Amino acid sequence: MFPILSLIFFTKRNNFCSIRPLSRALSSPVVHLGAPDGPTLSRRRASSTPTTGLAYDSQMLKHACVCGNNALHPEHAGRLQSIWSRLLETGLVSRCDRLRPRKASTQELQMCHSEAHTLLYGTSSMNRHKVDMSKLSSLPVMAFVRLPCGGIGVDTDTTWNEIYTAPAARMAVGCTVDLAVRTWTGDIRNGFAVVRPPGHHAEPQQAMGFCFFNSVAIAARVLQREHRVHKILIFDWGVHHGNGTQDIFYDDPRVLVVSMHRHDDGNFFPGTGSPGECGAGAGLGFNVNIAWSGGLNPPLGDAEYLAAFRTVVMPIAREFNPDIVLVSAGFDATDGHHPPLGGYKVSSSCFGYMTRQLMQLARGRVVLALEGGYDLPSICDSAEECVRVLLGDNPSPISPSELSRAPCGNAIIALQKVISVQSAHWPCLQEAAKSAGCSFNDAVRNEKDDKDTVNAMASLSMQHQTHNMVTSPLGYHPGCSPDAGRPSA
């Protein structure tokens, strides 16, 4: 059992009161992860031709537990500091167009979240006295818990800072929205939002899993409502299922949500995202869950993710033919994450490869927004790789051993499950399913052999037709009526 924690309500005077005990489970485990120092600055790059956009602001670094001990909280400012420093050191920032950051408006937040949720988590301490507390009565939980470290949180790891969390969360949304809009309008070619706190777990009326507002979902709604974008693909490659994103678009056929995540038959946080959760009403078939199960025996890696991309993600995405692609880019499936936070061994090169594949869609209009990922070297490598690919550089090569390795048995079963469920909605999966158990190299060879066979058959057919045209005195295929296809007198 977890320790009994105190439930704390806000009052109109911006004080805490009404304390009563409440036991809450962790939304994700607390582990020891260090954080480097060193905030960075950068000037916006002026460009006459569309290039890759970057969105970042140091205000998002201020969201932190009041205990001041980042080692107790995996989702800390060091994540953003490290990634931004890497992008600066490698010269990638200077090659990009840096967007002017801004906070999301209340109207934008309410495109995906209730008024009560927006007021509670989007209002800073200076404006707390303006909130009509009666409007918060509809929230399932409108309270905060006292954490073992002495800080305050929505649950025992989604920390809340009364001064800095709301502005940081709104900044993360605003940066993501503007990046998506500018990509759609052609001001930039594609983009990467270096933002926190993450968003894909945030539901319309519930903050959880380090998330307060669903940045990617809000960006999609803004594109729909203000820019008349008809078809949007949201792809979530983080190791945890994006329950909030699924919830928001579950009945919307204009937004295809594809999530690839560790599931373990519902025993891995957040427990949602089974293959059978495939949408409702008009949105049936527009929610696709590639739900990995079987624990870490063995840990999944590039071979499994490449197989999923080849057999499920890209066939469905091509058939859907989106106008723009938004990626919930969590890097917690990378090697270096403790089992409770991931445990997989996907390489940064694989994330670069997936980015390159997605750029084949929607005329290259692809926007990545940082979600999870807590091992600093791994997330820096992955972010750098993705930005390089967005800029047009070739992705780093994937390990030859992973290219030649067939996906593990548990992964093949997971792929077969999602294909079985989704084939009724996406017939293209029936053909793609044939290579679910193949290594990347074998799949490429088989595809080449199939193409060679088709080309050879087409060539033989043409030769046969030419021969018949030459040997038939009337110039028609033997066995057909000479009058076939001729207009009647």
Q: What is the pLDDT of residues 386-414, one digit of tens each?
A: 999 999 999 999 999 999 999 999 999 99
For the residues 303-329, what does the mean pLDDT come to? 99
| Catalytic pick among 63, 113, 201, 240 | 201
Instruction: Tell me the pLDDT band of 125, cut-offs 50, 70 and 90.
Output: low
- Type of residue numbered 400: P
Q: What is the pLDDT of residues 46-94, one digit of tens each?
A: 446 889 999 999 999 999 999 999 889 999 999 999 999 999 999 999 9
Domain ranges of the chain: 36-102+161-438, 445-478
Higher pLDDT, 327 or 27: 327
- What is the pLDDT confidence band of residue 134, given thresholds at 50, 70 and 90? low
Q: Which of 188, 157, 151 is nearest to 68 (CA)?
A: 151
Kindly state the percentage of the chain with pLDDT values over 70. 78
Mean pLDDT, residues 372-382: 98
Average pLDDT, the chain: 86
- Is 201 one of the catalytic residues? yes
Is pLDDT of 32 > 50?
Answer: no
Q: For 36-102+161-438, which CATH class?
A: alpha beta
Residue 325 has pLDDT above 50, yes or no: yes
What is the structure's pLDDT at 449?
75
Q: Quick: pLDDT tens for 214-266.
A: 999 999 999 999 999 999 999 999 999 999 999 999 999 999 999 999 999 99
Structure confidence at residue 20 (pLDDT): 29
> What is the predicted pLDDT for the residue at 155?
86
User: Which pLDDT belongs to residue 159?
Assistant: 95
d(Cα 95, Cα 91) in Å, to the nearest integer? 7
Buried b (16+ CB within 10 A) or exposed e, 90-115: eebbebbbbbebebbeeebbbbbbbe
Does 335 score more than 80 pLDDT? yes
The share of the chain scoring above pLDDT 90, in percent, equals 73
pLDDT of residue 156: 82
Q: Which of 111 and 38 is assigned the larger pLDDT?
A: 111
* Residues 425-469 pLDDT 10s: 999 999 888 899 999 999 999 988 777 666 666 665 665 565 555
